[in-house]
Structure 1
């Protein structure tokens, strides 16, 4: 038997009088009963007749082990919400506790409000049981159909970052974030504790982390489950928390101890916030948290088939597995369910008795009905400045180089200014590096701890979020958008792969939410990837990796959007569109280095509205082309246009059409993606017969994948990133990956041999490639005619 104990002044205290304790324990038992029923029963929901094998589901799915602890926390949060009028939501890191959250929102009535057919009576209880983990029903995790949830249980390791993102710029919100001890072993969760250093109590809400230790994962013990309270206290105090420990297996004492600990935590949070909001911020800012130790599968079967179940890994999923075929197991299940005394909890109609139901908060204060858990209800459109005011103007086309992301940074600066509590940039220590530093003209970097005189744009009130963790930045923005606000995740391109699974899970959330009419539209999740694979001025091969494009294009077409703006004006037009959109993953990829600017603002707008189109200003006799030179991405655009320019000078007999694709999904057939071009539009751009040489920002297979299902797709010859590179010159990167203007021209001579009676162009290209290799090893820089190349309409033969 686990000894009940607590610290923090809870031991021996009894904040609950006998009647409140009785009622809270009754709610807890009712939730536990509903958990078991969801896993096991398809008939006889209230056990008003002896349990038989026919009452049991043929397939037993779900997880019991973590649920009793989750239920305990839920009923105690209900008490505090009522007592202090809290605006609170609940996030369950142990996503396997799906039946726990479903049980509680059904008990409080939120579930029936959204799903009226699941009534609050015996018939509704049976529906609740039958739908759980069954075809056409609901998943076993805390998931999108669960009222009150903005955190999918399949995302193991992210409950804290989602919770902290939710409270940013949300001063009245409290998030109870339950961390499972298995989840606590993940890398992202270990880094998430530092989120406390980015919360401003004067402006933000608060997170109450509750580390729920029950000792086991699916099969083995947990690391922190075996650590002493002293060890854990040292760790959490070092992270900036003031931990309180509650432990036990005797329900009455655990209720009292947890009531004392949780109420003390709420009072401390309020004191911190009140002090900060009255300009008397405490020097030693330590936020409360609770470590709750209870047995795994608490209140479930103690012994099954002669082995211990409660308090062991065997309680993780289905503690009694052979109920339909083993009479002893059936007896254990019935005894287990009757131990909760359902006849005391539910009235003759099967509804929760009124004295227990009165524990629920009212209306929108119920955690299953809180609008923050359906953040689209709170969404306000951004107050966006006119993006055209930031346009790059030029007198000569593609003759000067400008950093496109620096232009976007000025646009973001004014979005910050116009939206002081509705927009944030999340960037892993790369804001200045990615040339977005203009935002620091209106907001600092956020840090809640010590600020030093030599720090650059760092303050407690800063709202630019920088931490060297892609997991934290992505998770914060998820929580921020899921509660109705807007933002941008900016990162080095190669490091986006770190959050590959997070993007996949968030896409699943959005896609599933769009099937539910009660889920309101949320702001899109916007990515900007820069410091791309084609430039490695300070880095090397490790910083090359365009694979995040592959991640996004394989998400549901309803959700996935990929944009490759070739210049600043296109980037502005695309970003404006993304910031106005809802329910998408919007991926924008463009490098931060100074680059040639191709289109006027008017041209860029028209081009981005189409998503793909012919660039006649860079083509030669494009109406009936011999070859189509297509591109997607800034460096591919540079090389394609430069190849077209070389063909003008060295092979004026070749009719060249230049095509640029900014919306990558336009390449898909329309039956595969809503942005896919019709066949008529596709052939109007790419023709029916001309070879298409396609220079692409990422892996060549992506383009072939997108073109699958298109007629004549075998005419497309794609060059892209081949996993070649090092710290080298810009042009050498495209040479090493065989996507240079010279390689493209050589391709033209191969695919159109009938237009090249001599080998002059091929010889020129081979000579230039050889000169390039010699020059960069002697001068450590690209050839001047490559490095300084700009567009011109002259056709004077090239030297050398």
Structure 2
């Protein structure tokens, strides 16, 4: 289909129109970097028309502009129901994205001061870098998908966008320096894990082989053409080459690449378009005897100081004038008629989801139906039920069996909505592409190795924050199930750092769910997958532990915390001791302590709390579920010692409490690194969570002779 569309587009839109659009994009990029006035060069250029401190990135813009111009006619030819996405591998092409969004009119739809008018053109050029939009590609620039500041995951993100979407073509622009990253290298091979997992769309990788990364020549540029062909062929991709200088040749190469493309997961060679346009194409070869083109200088502003340097000013004047901007844009800021056929048409509303109804009721029902079943039997039905609704994917780094998550069909096969690959970054990037296109996904992994994806998650949180700022509709949540916890694992497999890292971001969408047993884990997963626009970590061990009464599950899900009446002294306004658990192992250990205290110290007024969402502890007003001061006092009292236990780092609770920290009356126990391998029993003892240590701590906190005159 895509080849036929490209062929028809090539026949219906002239190469001259594509060339004119390319020039218009190049000019607008260069003008954004340098011009403070005189946007169409309608007056002779003077130093006063230039920005005193030019800023931005030129090097990546020319190759990106050529691809955007070549894709425009194809986008215009799309039939109803078809979808074409451009995924940027690097955010430095913001001038290109802004120029493209301006010419299509979409930028003005979002920002009225950037409409296609003389004033809008002046604001676009002279206002860059725009404080309210930024100097890199973000969701604040309509029509361009770039999901974070980390190089590497773009190819996998693009693969995620086309899963279960046979109507979609995602063109991903990958810098040759980006090809040096582990995430990109793994993405070529990792696509084989998607074979037999359903009907998918098509990804066309475009490698911008411009010869340079930021600091010097790229490794990929050091290969000969034969070596380069052998490299891509070995990765399962047949390369199609073009230098991009001739629009006709570029469009023919694009058509050839689409002809050889296959839906993601198909067997046989796929295609890759390799654009060999030099980085910063168009920059002067030399200025005052100093080489410019082909050097690191083209990465940002090739001419750093044209206001004060006469030779640079002369070179810039000639460079800007060479595009003949008055032939590309009208005096009132519109694209000239002869390049309009190469522009894509206006796009429909951005992807989003309607908020689901009945999240808490549905989650509570799941927990009640689950009953006292072990971890594997409790959570597998949650995933199967979610998959039954469609548009759901579960990704795992080759750990489902180890994590005791059995999702095999009756015939012993793995359902197609489950994908395993031994790479945490790929799992996250696939899930990211899937959720960014409006579908639900979950990543199940060892708690200890989830921190590998910390940077990717943080970048996606920034991307989501920018989406919210732009007023875009909410998307399905980022959901992680962290299991195979370090409490029952070898020393190298003990690392609850992802929770600490994400809480430290302060992002209000982050929630850390610490269910007390498998039934509550099933409820937490159901709830997390139904909610929108969150980043939820569900932390639950796979080993058999205590099952607890269900009567407080709805309160735990709704408010993030609940007292457990069966372990609490009735009617006590100020208890003698508060026990608070966060997680299944802490609940297992503290409930045993509570039962012993009630049996051996019946005079003690005990209150037992379970913290289902760690973020309830935050200062009031700082997080959506943060307890009010009144609720915090109602739960934790004002004078009673508090003994809390968490499955993660104790510092997480201390940091969340912030200025309302109860001070010395609070003791938090949790994981602390033992410094060497040890048994699970010794680890509990090292962390003071074994039976003996807890009893000693609790009885030390509350003297045997209790004052009975407390209010």
TM class by smaller structure: over 0.9
2:69: which partner in 1? 75
> In the alignment, does 2:47 pair up with 1:47?
no
Does the 8 Å CA contact 1:700/1:720 hold for their aligned counterparts?
yes
Q: 1:301-450 maps to which residues of 2 (within 5 A)?
A: 301-364=284-347, 371=349, 374-376=350-352, 386-387=362-363, 390-391=366-367, 402-419=373-390, 422-438=391-407, 440-441=408-409
The whole-number CA distance in structure 1 between the counterparts of 2:703 and 2:478 is 47
The whole-number CA distance in structure 2 between the counterparts of 1:362 and 1:150 is 17
1:681: which partner in 2? 631
Aligned match for 1:526, one of 479, 484, 506:
479
1:233 deviates by: 1.9
Q: Residue 671 and residue 192 in structure 1: after superposition, are their counterparts in 2 closer, same or farther (change >3 A)?
A: same
Residue 629 of structure 1 aligns to a residue in which SS?
strand
Q: Residue 268 and residue 571 in structure 1: after superposition, are their counterparts in 2 closer, same or farther (change >3 A)?
A: same
The whole-number CA distance in structure 1 between the counterparts of 2:450 and 2:275 is 35
1:138: which partner in 2? 133
1:342-366 per-residue CA deviation (whole Å, 9 max, x = no partner) reads: 12111232321111012123233xx
Aligned match for 1:88, one of 84, 96, 102:
84
Aligned match for 2:658, one of 701, 704, 708:
708
Does the 8 Å CA contact 1:43/1:56 hold for their aligned counterparts?
yes
2:21: which partner in 1? 27
> In the alignment, does 2:549 pair up with 1:610?
no
The whole-number CA distance in structure 1 between the counterparts of 2:51 and 2:279 is 23
1:170: which partner in 2? 165
Q: 1:499-518 maps to which residues of 2 (within 5 A)?
A: 499-517=453-471
1:193: which partner in 2? 188
1:115: which partner in 2? 111
1:689 deviates by: 0.3
Q: Residue 110 and residue 625 in structure 1: after superposition, are their counterparts in 2 closer, same or farther (change >3 A)?
A: same
Q: Residue 212 and residue 259 in structure 1: after superposition, are their counterparts in 2 closer, same or farther (change >3 A)?
A: same
Does the 8 Å CA contact 1:566/1:662 hold for their aligned counterparts?
yes
Aligned match for 1:628, one of 555, 578, 590:
578
Does the 8 Å CA contact 1:92/1:153 hold for their aligned counterparts?
no
> In the alignment, does 2:162 pair up with 1:156?
no
1:55 deviates by: 2.1
Does the 8 Å CA contact 1:131/1:137 hold for their aligned counterparts?
no
Residue 608 of structure 1 aligns to a residue in which SS?
helix
The whole-number CA distance in structure 1 between the counterparts of 2:27 and 2:370 is 71
Q: 1:731-742 maps to which residues of 2 (within 5 A)?
A: 731-742=681-692
1:496 deviates by: 0.7
Q: Residue 694 and residue 678 in structure 1: after superposition, are their counterparts in 2 closer, same or farther (change >3 A)?
A: same
The whole-number CA distance in structure 1 between the counterparts of 2:92 and 2:211 is 15
Q: Mean Cα displacement is larger for which, 378-387 or 466-475?
A: 378-387
Structure 1: where are the runs of 5+ without partners?
A: 1-12, 445-455, 758-800
Q: TM-score, normalised by structure 2?
A: 0.92
Q: 1:544-693 maps to which residues of 2 (within 5 A)?
A: 544-600=494-550, 602-620=551-569, 623=572, 624-693=574-643
Q: Residue 394 and residue 573 in structure 1: after superposition, are their counterparts in 2 closer, same or farther (change >3 A)?
A: closer
1:719 deviates by: 1.0
The whole-number CA distance in structure 1 between the counterparts of 2:12 and 2:487 is 69
The whole-number CA distance in structure 1 between the counterparts of 2:309 and 2:457 is 44
Does the 8 Å CA contact 1:94/1:179 hold for their aligned counterparts?
yes
The whole-number CA distance in structure 2 between the counterparts of 1:391 and 1:153 is 36
The whole-number CA distance in structure 2 between the counterparts of 1:604 and 1:17 is 63
Does the 8 Å CA contact 1:379/1:485 hold for their aligned counterparts?
no
Does the 8 Å CA contact 1:246/1:292 hold for their aligned counterparts?
yes
The whole-number CA distance in structure 1 between the counterparts of 2:230 and 2:360 is 46
Does the 8 Å CA contact 2:569/2:606 hold for their aligned counterparts?
yes
Q: Residue 693 and residue 516 in structure 1: after superposition, are their counterparts in 2 closer, same or farther (change >3 A)?
A: same
1:778: which partner in 2? none
1:63-89 per-residue CA deviation (whole Å, 9 max, x = no partner) reads: 000110000011111133335646211
Q: Residue 190 and residue 394 in structure 1: after superposition, are their counterparts in 2 closer, same or farther (change >3 A)?
A: closer
Residue 114 of structure 2 aligns to a residue in which SS?
coil
The whole-number CA distance in structure 2 between the counterparts of 1:671 and 1:57 is 42
The whole-number CA distance in structure 2 between the counterparts of 1:90 and 1:501 is 23
1:22 deviates by: 2.1
Residue 667 of structure 2 aligns to a residue in which SS?
strand
1:17 deviates by: 8.4
Q: Residue 638 and residue 16 in structure 1: after superposition, are their counterparts in 2 closer, same or farther (change >3 A)?
A: closer
> In the alignment, does 2:258 pair up with 1:289?
no
Does the 8 Å CA contact 2:97/2:137 hold for their aligned counterparts?
yes
Report the RMSD for the aligned CA atoms in angstroms.
2.8
1:240-278 per-residue CA deviation (whole Å, 9 max, x = no partner) reads: 211112236xx23xx233211110122333xx45xx9xx
Structure 2: where are the runs of 5+ without partners?
A: 1-6
Q: TM-score, normalised by structure 1?
A: 0.82
> In the alignment, does 2:704 pair up with 1:721?
no
1:207-232 per-residue CA deviation (whole Å, 9 max, x = no partner) reads: 00011111111122111111122222
Residue 117 of structure 1 aligns to a residue in which SS?
helix
Residue 259 of structure 1 aligns to a residue in which SS?
helix
Residue 107 of structure 1 aligns to a residue in which SS?
helix
1:50-105 per-residue CA deviation (whole Å, 9 max, x = no partner) reads: 22232222332210001100000111111333356462111111221111121112
Aligned match for 1:98, one of 94, 114, 138:
94
Does the 8 Å CA contact 1:388/1:572 hold for their aligned counterparts?
no
> In the alignment, does 2:413 pair up with 1:457?
yes
Aligned match for 1:261, one of 250, 253, 259:
253
1:3: which partner in 2? none
Aligned match for 1:147, one of 142, 156, 171:
142
